[in-house]
Amino acid sequence: MSQVSARVLLRAAGVAVLIDAPDGLLPALLHWGGPLPGLTEADAAAIAESSRPVQSPNDVDTPARVSLLPEATTGWTGRPGLQGSRNGVAWSTDFRVTEITFNGTPLRGFLSAGPGVLRFTAEDAEAQLTLDLEVALSDGGVLTARAGVRNDGTDDYTVDSLTLAFPVPAEASELLDLAGRWARERMPQRRPFTVGTHLRENRKGRTGSDSAYVMHAGTPGFGFADGEVYGVHTAFSGNHLHFAERVFTGIRLLGGGELLLPGELRLAPGETYTGPLVYGVHGTGLDAVARRFHGVLRARKRRLSTRRPVTYNVWEAVYMDHSLPKLLRLAELAAGVGVERFVLDDGWFGARRHEHAGLGDWVVSDDAWPDGLSPLIDRVNELGMEFGLWFEPEMVNPDSDVAREHPDWILSARTSWPVESRFQQVLNLSIPEAYAHVRDQMMALLDAYPIAYIKWDHNRDLVDAGDQTRGGRPAVHEQTLAYYRLLDELREAHPELEIESCSSGGARVDLEVLQRTDRVWVSDCIDPLERQVMNRWTAQLIPLEYMGSHIASRHSHTTGRRHDIGFRAATAVFGHLGIEWDLTEATEEELAQLTDWVAFYKEHRDLLLGGDLVRMDGPDPHQFVHGVVAPDQSRAVIGLAVTASLDALPGPRVRFRGLDAERRYSVRPVRLGAPQGGLKEPVWFGAGVELTGAALERVGFTPPIINPEQAMLFLVDAVD
Ligand code: GLA
């Protein structure tokens, strides 16, 4: 077995990664962060030399080596990258790299290159395993890593855990990750990066409304603009984990991988397990980190246009009470205010007149829709709108034809079914017949009707998710892959089809599902006060054009709060705009305002959905300032929201960054969104004002006095 060496500097978009893999050892990151201009081979060697750890007292004689996949054999007593065994033996690995390629070409020695893909093949003859480790830097400076392990032995090898970890420097002493719950997804939480592991395990079988989302470490107090920040995201929609680990020697790692259940991943001889992509992003401030993440989806093969169709979803207007005359009226009203896509939600199929029955029977209900969906769809199309339809493909109510006929298709670890959640169970898509059942029923509908869009829901966690046909073995891994396959298959058959990833609101938002879907439903809570926070943090990973953002009813269905249309709309326009409101209850005046807002959105959506997101760290936590800047810095839209009483009135001056410091811009309030209560305008409002980019950032402007729970927008246009 020949052992190879390489040292590689990858550079892209202001990020440098120096990877060291000497003498057959697994690759370790000597540097991941800001650029290292002019670095030569000798300079890289000097970094390697000067980075060699000193042996600490009472530690192993040769200091432990922490590669992307740390191994206990090196003396590392932190979390090992690969955990597994052959029935209790071969549980400690000592991989030796036998082959290295860069963009497919064999590599030895030193390489300094731009973006590209490094691949390391490593073997452990004693444990009889082969490791395939891929490390890449994208054009946008996003680091990714993915590992696969093959069983070369003659008996089974069980993978318990395969995680990858990126080192961060000691300056990154504060952690920030996300948490949340249904209707309050992606709430930030901070803590010091202390010794031990901050472990965010997800065992929900879906990404989760409380997912860690991005595990950040940064310099103390890092904010949207400032601080050196590192962020790691595990891109997987099943069980997964994120961790931040600091050990006694001071080493700090951010890592992630799939979370495997006991015995879930048993590799027969010759079989391979490949884990999810782990993304790593570095930048100054959270906005820079977010922008790099946004680049991942913006570079996706199937690019989204910024002309995202304004959507109307009927859920909060009718729930499961489907009556054609009412839906036709809603379609007409929606078209009247400028909607471009009309979505029929839950309740159109099987016995689904309520939450207790029908899920899993994807056949149009004769009761609710005696003439099929055509009377609605034809009218929707006639009104110039696309039609979208809700599905929850993985789910069944026990009271459904499919569950009655195939009780063994339900995921269950034990002889009794798992505890119900929303009166439903989960269909085991790894059973080929169950998969085919769902696929064929969905395909039949896609073939029968002009469906442009699917709202793909997933309304419960996977609990005790075992495969009954295999003695109850854990089946979340297979379920997740089957879900991805199903998405791929449907899209291959219907290339124009758009799919929304919804999961009790925003419980399936990650970079892997968004390789296959075109937007997420951020949350079932459309209360703009809550959405100011949720949208702000959802945008930490995904760009605004992927975030379903609706103008809600006057009174919020999930919080009971009441808000006027200005606050609802000025909040919603920073996303893929929709409306979720029983428009038959809206007044003429409200419909007119809605029409104006939709028109404003259409006029500016190229900017709103194609620009760079800016979030300000204001001095008053209840004054939210954010916005979008055109990539050429010629224009911007700024949003100002007041979420609770400010300490002082009129509140801190509005400062905004991201524009060209030397150019002069006109700043004008958008009158249309003028808050309806308590507005007191500053003098400059009348004629607008011209400010340089530097003045906007460093001096700012006096805001109007607006009541709490109000918002308004400003348009910024270069005048020179
Ligand atoms: C979930 C979704 C909602 C709606 C309902 C339908 O809660 O998040 O938007 O589609 O299911 O049952």
What is the Cα–Cα distance from 501 to 576, expressed in whole angstroms?
A: 13
Determine the residue of 313, 314, 315 to mutate for testing ligand 1's pocket, defined as the one with the most ligand atoms within 8 A of the Cβ atom: 315
CA dist., res. 494 & res. 516, Å (int)? 13
Angle at 581 between CA 576 and CA 587, to 5 degrees: 120
Q: What is the pLDDT of residues 351-371, one digit of tens each?
A: 999 999 999 999 999 999 999
Tell me: pLDDT of 632 over 90.
yes
Q: What pLDDT score was predicted for residue 224?
A: 98
Query: How close is the Cα of 417 to the center of ligand 1, in Å?
Result: 23
pLDDT of the residue at 679: 84
Which candidate in 287, 457, 527, 612 is catalytic? Answer: 457
Confirm whether 524 is a catalytic residue: yes
Structure tokens at 320: 């499961």
Q: Which residue has the higher pLDDT, 267 or 678?
A: 267
Pocket of ligand 1 (CB under 6 A): 315, 345-346, 390, 457, 459, 502, 504-505, 521, 524
What is the total residue count of the chain?
A: 720
Residue 536 pLDDT > 90, yes or no? Answer: yes
Residues 124, 177, 210, 524: which is the catalytic one?
524
Q: How confident is the model at residue 403 (pLDDT cuts 50, 70, 90)?
A: very high
Nearest residue CA, atom 12 of ligand 1? 346
Residue 505 alpha carbon, nearest atom of ligand 1: 8
Please tell me the residue having the least CA distance from ligand 1 atom 11.
504
Contact (CB, 8 A) for 182 and 524? yes
Q: If you measure from the C-alpha of residue 504 to the centroid of ligand 1, how many angstroms do you get, rounded to a whole number?
A: 6
User: Rounded to whole angstroms, how far apart are CA atoms 472 and 134?
Assistant: 33
pLDDT band at 677 (very low <50, low <70, confident <90, very high): low
pLDDT tens for each residue of 280-326: 999 999 999 999 999 999 999 999 999 999 999 999 999 999 999 99
The protein residue whose alpha carbon is closest to atom 7 in ligand 1 is 504
Q: In ligand 1, which atom is closest to the CA atom of 455?
A: 10
Q: Whose CA is nearest to atom 1 of ligand 1?
A: 504
* Whole-prediction pTM: 0.98
371 catalytic? Reply is: no
How far is residue 298 CA from its own chain's centroid? 13
Tokens of 632: 């050429």
Q: What's the rounded mean pLDDT across residues 43-55?
A: 95
Number of the ligand 1 atom closest to the C-alpha atom of 313 = 9
Q: For residue 521, give the ligand 1 atom closest to its CA.
A: 8
Instruction: Specify the pLDDT at position 674.
Output: 62
316 Cα: distance to centroid of ligand 1 (angstroms): 9
Cα separation values, 583 from 217, 314, 579, Å: 45, 10, 9
pLDDT at residue 223 is higher than 70? yes
457 Cα–ligand 1 center, Å: 7
Give pLDDT, residue 122: 98
Ligand 1 centroid from CA 495, angstroms: 25
Take residue 640 and report the two structure tokens written for it.
């100002």
With contact defined as beta carbons under 8 Å apart, do 521 and 548 qualify?
yes
Helices 588-610 and 565-572: angle between axes, nearest 10 degrees = 20
Is the pLDDT confidence value at 676 over 70? no
Residue 246: what pLDDT? 98
Helices (H), 350-428: 374-382, 401-405
Six token digits for residue 597: 């807002």
Give the C-alpha separation, 622 to 646, whole Å.
6
Q: What are the structure tokens assigned to 178, written together?
A: 């996300």
Question: What mean pLDDT is predicted for residues 118-136?
Answer: 98
Q: What is the DSSP letter of 421?
A: B
Cα 186 from Cα 546, distance rounded (Å): 15
What's the pLDDT score for residue 2? Answer: 80
8 closest CA partner among 98, 106, 95 = 106
Cα 526 to averaged position of ligand 1 atoms, centre (Å): 12
Residue 678 has pLDDT above 80, yes or no: no
Mean pLDDT of 391-407: 98
* Closest listed residue to residue 383, CA positions, set 428, 436, 341: 341
Q: Which of 343, 345, 353, 520 to mutate to test the pocket of ligand 1 (most atoms within 8 A of CB)?
A: 345
